[in-house]
Amino acid sequence: MAAFELAVKAGASGVELDVQLTRDGRVVVIHDETLDRTTNGSGWVKDHEWETLRRLDAGSWWNPRFSSERIPLLEDVLDLLSNTDMIINIELKNGWVRYPGLEAAVLACIDRFRMADRVILSSFNHYSLRMLHGMRPDLSLAALYESGLFEPWVYARYLGVHAIHPDWRAIDKNVIKGCQSVGIAVRPYTVDDPEVMQQLIKWGVDGIITNYPERCRQVLDGQLKKS
C-alpha cells in the first residue's frame, strides 16, 4: 500500500497493479505467482488462504523499513484511491495460473466501489480479455504483449479491446499511428529511461507505464532534458 500512497503523492495519473486469487477466492494484489521473492512466505499464491497471506511480510525484501507492509486486497487499493481521480490499471495475472473465476471476482470489486469508469483491465492472457469483453463490453480493456505483433490494431479490434499495452521495444511510430487511426490507444511498458519517454511522447503515445511517475511528469513538463 505504501507504493500506491506514494503514487498519489507523486502526482501519477494512475497506478498499475497485478491481481491473483487466493485458495478461498479473495482477490489479492501481488506481482509474482509465488510468494518466495517478495514475501517471507513460500509456494504458490493459489495454494494459500487469505488468512495466511494477510500475515506475511511483503515489504522487507525491498527495504527493512517496509517490514510492516502486507499483501493488500484489491478492495483495499480501490478504497484508497476512491477519493482521487486516478486511473487504476488492473492486470489479471492469469498466464501461468488460470484462476477460474478471477474475471468475475475482479468485476465484483470494481462494481462494489463504482469505479468502472476509472478502471482499465489488462492481461497477457487474451482468452481472459475475450471473456471480459463478453461479460462487460462497457469496460476499458487492454491487451498486453511483449514481442512484435503484426498490425496490432487489427488484432485489437478483433479481440474486442480498446488499447494495447506492449513492451515499448515492440512498437514504433507506425504502430502508434495505425492503432490511433482506428481508435486503439497505445500505452507501452515499462518505460523508465527519460530519452525513451521523450521519443514515445514525440510519437504520440496515449500513456506511459513507468516505475518513475515523477520522472515522466518532468519529461512531460519539459523539465528533464536529454543527457
CA distances from 173 to 200, 204, 219, 222, 227 (A): 8, 8, 19, 21, 23
The full set of domains in the chain, from first to last, is 1-118 (3.20.20.190), 146-227 (3.20.20.190)
Q: Are 113 and 88 in contact (CB under 8 A)?
A: no
Q: What is the pLDDT of residues 13-67, one digit of tens each?
A: 999 999 999 999 999 999 999 999 999 999 999 999 999 999 999 999 999 999 9
Cα–Cα distance, 168 to 143 (Å, whole number): 13
Determine the Cα angle at 12 with ends 61 and 4, to 5°: 35
Q: What is the pLDDT of residues 106-144, one digit of tens each?
A: 999 999 999 999 999 999 999 999 999 999 999 999 999
Which residues lie closer than 8 Å to 180 by C-beta, 6 or more apart? 186, 204, 206
Q: Is the pTM of this model over 0.85?
A: yes
